[in-house]
Amino acid sequence: MRVLVGLFLALGVSLVLAQGLLARTLETISTERADRQALVSLRALEDLVQRAGGSGDSVRAVVSTWKEQLPPGSAVRVIAFSGIQLEASTFPEDQGDRAAPRRLSREEKPIYDRGQRLRAAVETNREEGSARKLEVETEALPNGGRLLSAPVEVDGSVVGLVELAIGPLAAPLKPGLGPLLLWLLVPLAVCAGACFVLRRQLLLVAVSVLALGVGLGGYASYSLGLLSAEVRGTQELVAGQLRTMSQRAQAVMAERQLAVEPALQPGNWDADHFRRPLGLVTPEGAVNEAAVSARVEELRSGANRAFGGLGVVAVALLLFIGMGGLARTIETVVENRTAYLYIAPAMVGMVVLVFFPFFYGITLSFTDSNLYNTGQSLSDIWVGLRNYAEILGDFNIARRAQDGSIVFNYLNFYYTLFFTVVWTVTNVTIGVTVGLILALILNVQGLALRPVYRVLLILPWAMPNYITALIWKGMFHQQFGVVNHVIRMFGGQGLAWYDTPVTSFLTVLATNGWLSFPFMMVVSLGALTSIPVELYEAARVDGASRWQQFISITLPSLKPALVPAIILSVVWTFNQFNVIFLVTEGEPSNSTEILITQAYKYAFQRYRYGYAAAYSTVIFGILLLYSVVQNRVSRATEAA
């Protein structure tokens, strides 16, 4: 009975999730179909307006003729930037006294601003030789429809704007319930029959896993067939519309005596929002079978991965229930319900605030997420291990310049890692050494004003480190900094501390050294006070010197406290963002960046979110490996 219940839940959950994924994909296909049809109409009109010169009576004649070709509920308008003029419009609000041609009114300024944004986008993309800014804007309308806007170019210059308003989208495609019920009930019936024949638990589990595979595989076959048919149907629909629009455009060109060169290429009207042809139809308007087959294969590949993941989850759920895991879990929860009730808020908080961001960041590291594609789904920007290959596979650390000098690539991961290791080792060494020496001094019996010294020496740690970092940055200022003033008092020349990698590194080393020694001093002092005085008295009786007492008694006694503190200090220093970011800002030329500040700049200055997530994941892996190795070697955190 447990096996049958497990099969029902596992298969039911996986099929419902598959149905939801299929419905979402079909909705995406429906939206894409409507978008492409609208863009075809917009680009065709844009082509005709450009051939009409972008303004004047020819444009109004084109719009007057073309409005008969648009679907019911659609409207178009053409704006000329010269004179801020409404050249032509079929919008209901542009009739009567407000009919075109006329100058745009004050309340219509957003239309003109939209045109200027599109002109800036076209010019930026042209200068950069890339597709970075959208050249077609889409805006939702109050009636559920959409407004599409595209620039009008004449002789290579953007001279105006053409807009198309379309009505609400048709109801999206939806998968039927029949196939879902079929592939749910048939495997259940087979497994139920097997329960009466087979008595061995393992055989029943094997049959249920097989039935689960049949059910999920059957629904996957139905889904893939439906998706393939809808994708091909979309291409046929768009290709048919392109051919119709091309014929109508030819008729308008002949009727209005518009320029016939260059020849119409309706395939270019089927484009994305960067006005790049999608390539799914030929320039003449026929379906590009090779491109469509590639699109279908890509869609099938993604669906297969999704169904594979669902299958793994479903099998795990089936085995968990069928082998009695769920029953034992429920029994344990009921028995210890009070304890679970107490820890539930903490677990929910951990999931929401720690685990979800952590695993989402790892997922993001496998994408090409950036500022310009944040609206796309993860599957559309998935790049696999490309970010990791780019980070870890770049060994261009240094090169030799023409004058024979060595020039370092400061953006290279391995250079930044080397600098981070040097930064961490030197800072931890200084912090541990200074902190231990001060702790030994403060632990001297009979030291006068010891409480005052303790308070003063803890102040650098008590102050917010960003305030301390800004103070030290000012102290190293070339003209007004106190450090250069002291150097000049003794006849020296003030230094430009942030102009060379070495001197810039010294500034952050001094700053972080000032911040780090109090922590080690407190840890060391606490451990020193716990060492029995009798050990030192016995050592002195045996004739041990102070150094021998320090080596044989003090250091071994400090180890259980110092080693965990050093591990923690290494992790803190490795990720010490504030000091580097506030004091040197990575200058000169990113030479003093550590891994965490480099990851920050990739995310929030270069806007490569996926690459920055991969960078951060690599940092986490390095620190995790260090902590594991350090714990195994030292065993200082293990119980005695």
SS (H, E, C) 108-167: HHHHHHHHHHHHHHHHHHHHHCCCCCCCCEEEECCCCCEEEEEEEEECCEEEEEEEEEEC
108 and 237, same domain (yes or no): yes
Q: Which of 296, 315, 332 is the last residue of a domain?
A: 296
Task: State how far the Cα of 242 lies from the Cα of 163, in Å rounded to an integer.
Answer: 19
**Radius of gyration (C-alpha) of the chain in whole angstroms:** 35
167 and 281, same domain (yes or no): yes
pLDDT per position as a tens digit, 271-327: 888 888 888 888 777 888 888 888 888 888 878 888 888 888 888 888 888 778 888
Q: Over range 253-279, report the average pLDDT.
A: 82
**Do 4 and 206 contact (CB within 8 A), yes or no?**
no
Domains of the chain: total:
3
**Do 288 and 282 contact (CB within 8 A), yes or no?**
yes
Query: Which pLDDT band, with edges at 50, 70 and 90, does 638 fall under?
Result: low
65 and 92, same domain (yes or no): yes
pLDDT per position as a tens digit, 210-243: 888 888 889 999 999 998 998 888 888 888 888 8
Q: Is the pTM of this model over 0.75?
A: no
**Do 536 and 382 contact (CB within 8 A), yes or no?**
no
Task: State how far the Cα of 109 lies from the Cα of 572, in Å rounded to an integer.
Answer: 53
436 and 580, same domain (yes or no): yes
DSSP run (H or E) holding 609 = helix 609-634
DSSP run (H or E) holding 500 = none
Residue listed under structure tokens 């801020």: 84
Give the distance, in angstroms, between the CA of residue 32 and the centroid of all CA atoms in the same chain.
24
546 and 491, same domain (yes or no): yes
Give the pLDDT score at 598. 92
Beta bridge partners of 137: 149
127 and 34, same domain (yes or no): yes
User: Does a structural domain hold residue 6?
Assistant: no
Task: State how far the Cα of 536 lies from the Cα of 559, in Å rounded to an integer.
Answer: 17
Strands 85-89 and 102-103: antiparallel
Look up residue 176 and give its amino acid: G
Query: Which pLDDT band, with edges at 50, 70 and 90, does 397 fall under?
Result: confident
User: Does a structural domain hold residue 66?
Assistant: yes
Strands 398-400 and 157-166: unpaired
User: Does a structural domain hold residue 508?
Assistant: yes
Q: Which residue has the higher pLDDT, 283 or 187?
A: 187
Helix, strand, coil share of the chain (percent; to 5): 65, 10, 25
360 and 508, same domain (yes or no): no
User: Does a structural domain hold residue 145?
Assistant: yes
pLDDT per position as a tens digit, 417-453: 999 999 999 999 999 999 999 888 888 877 777 788 8
Task: State how far the Cα of 598 lies from the Cα of 592, in Å rounded to an integer.
Answer: 10
DSSP run (H or E) holding 102 = strand 102-103
Tokens at 71, concatenated: 């679907």
On the question of pLDDT at 608 being above 70, the answer is yes
Q: Which of 253, 271, 296 is the last residue of a domain?
A: 296
pLDDT per position as a tens digit, 488-544: 888 888 888 888 889 999 999 999 889 888 888 888 888 888 888 888 888 888 888
116 and 252, same domain (yes or no): yes
Q: Over range 324-335, report the average pLDDT.
A: 86
What CATH number should be reported for the domain holding residue 426? 1.10.3720.10
Tokens at 201, concatenated: 């638990």
Torsion angle (degrees, nearest 10) of CA 31, 32, 35, 37: -110
Give the pLDDT score at 51. 86
Per-chain mean pLDDT for the chain: 86
450-462 and 413-442 helices, crossing angle to 10°: 160
Least confident window among 53-67, 343-357, 468-482, 578-592: 53-67
617 and 600, same domain (yes or no): no
User: Does a structural domain hold residue 554?
Assistant: yes
Residues 6+ apart with CB under 8 A from 353: none
578 and 512, same domain (yes or no): yes
User: Does a structural domain hold residue 358?
Assistant: yes
Give the pLDDT score at 640. 45
Q: Which residue has the higher pLDDT, 379 or 477?
A: 477
Domain encompassing residue 570: 407-605
Task: State how far the Cα of 465 lies from the Cα of 578, in Å rounded to an integer.
Answer: 7
Tokens at 621, concatenated: 């892996």
Give the pLDDT score at 600. 92
45 and 111, same domain (yes or no): yes
Task: State how far the Cα of 19 lies from the Cα of 451, in Å rounded to an integer.
Answer: 70
619 and 601, same domain (yes or no): no
User: Does a structural domain hold residue 566?
Assistant: yes
User: Does a structural domain hold residue 27?
Assistant: yes
Residues 6+ apart with CB under 8 A from 339: none
Q: Which of 248, 272, 296 is the last residue of a domain?
A: 296
Nearest to 280 by CA among 288, 272, 271: 288
**Do 80 and 160 contact (CB within 8 A), yes or no?**
yes
Q: Over range 558-583, report the average pLDDT.
A: 87
Give the pLDDT score at 428. 92
